[in-house]
Amino acid sequence: MRLLRRTLWTLLILFLLLNALAIFHACKFTYFYDQGDASIRKPEQMDKWDKAKAILFGFNYKKSVNKVLPKIPFTTISLTTVDTMHLKGWYMPRKQAKGTVILFHGHGSSAAGVLDESYYMNGLGFNTFIIDFRAHGNSEGNVCTIGYEEGADVKAAYDYVRKRGEKNIILWGVSMGAAAITRAIAAYEVKPEKAILEMSFGTLSGAAKGRVRTMGLPVQPIAGLLTFWGGTVRGFWAFDMKPEEYAKKIECPVLVQHGAKDPRVTIAETKSIYGNIPHGRKRLVIYETAVHESLCGKEPALWQTEIKNFLFNY
Structural domain containing residue 85:
75-203+241-313
Block means of pLDDT (10 residues each) for the chain, 314 residues, are 78 82 87 78 66 68 94 98 97 97 97 98 98 98 97 98 97 98 97 98 95 82 92 96 98 98 96 94 97 97 98 95
Q: CA-to-CA distance for 70 and 111, rounded, in angstroms? A: 9
pTM of the model: 0.93
Query: What pLDDT shows up at residue 57?
Result: 67
Residue 58: C-alpha distances to residues 17, 26, 52, 166, 213 (Å): 15, 10, 9, 44, 16
Q: Give the pLDDT confidence score for residue 52 in this predicted structure.
A: 64
In DSSP terms, which residues pair with 173 in a beta bridge?
A: 104, 197
Residue 213, domain member (yes or no): no
pLDDT digits (tens, 9 = 90+) for 302-311: 999 999 999 9
Question: pLDDT tens digits, residue range 162-194?
Answer: 999 999 999 999 999 999 999 999 999 999 999
Predicted local distance difference test score (pLDDT) of residue 56: 63
In a domain, 292, yes or no: yes
Q: From CA 150, how far away is CA 177, in angstroms rounded?
A: 8
From CA 156, how far away is CA 89, in angstroms rounded? 11
> Rounded to an integer, what distance in angstroms lies between the CA atom of residue 126 and that of residue 121?
6
For residue 178, tell me if it sits in a domain: yes
**Is there a domain that residue 160 lies in?**
yes
The residue type found at 285 is V
What is the per-residue pLDDT for 47? 67
pLDDT in tens, 119-164: 999 999 999 999 999 999 999 999 999 999 999 999 999 999 999 9
Please report whether residue 190 resides in a domain. yes
pLDDT at 42: 67
In three-state form (DSSP H/G/I as H, E/B as E, the rest C), the secondary structure along 40-83 is: CCCHHHCCHHHHHHHHHHCCCEECCCCCCCCCCCCEEEEEECCC
Task: Classify residue 231: in a domain, yes or no.
Answer: no
The confidence score (pLDDT) of residue 217 equals 77
Q: Is residue 14 part of a domain?
A: no
What is the CATH classification number for the domain harbouring 112? Answer: 3.40.50.1820
Number of domains within the chain: 1
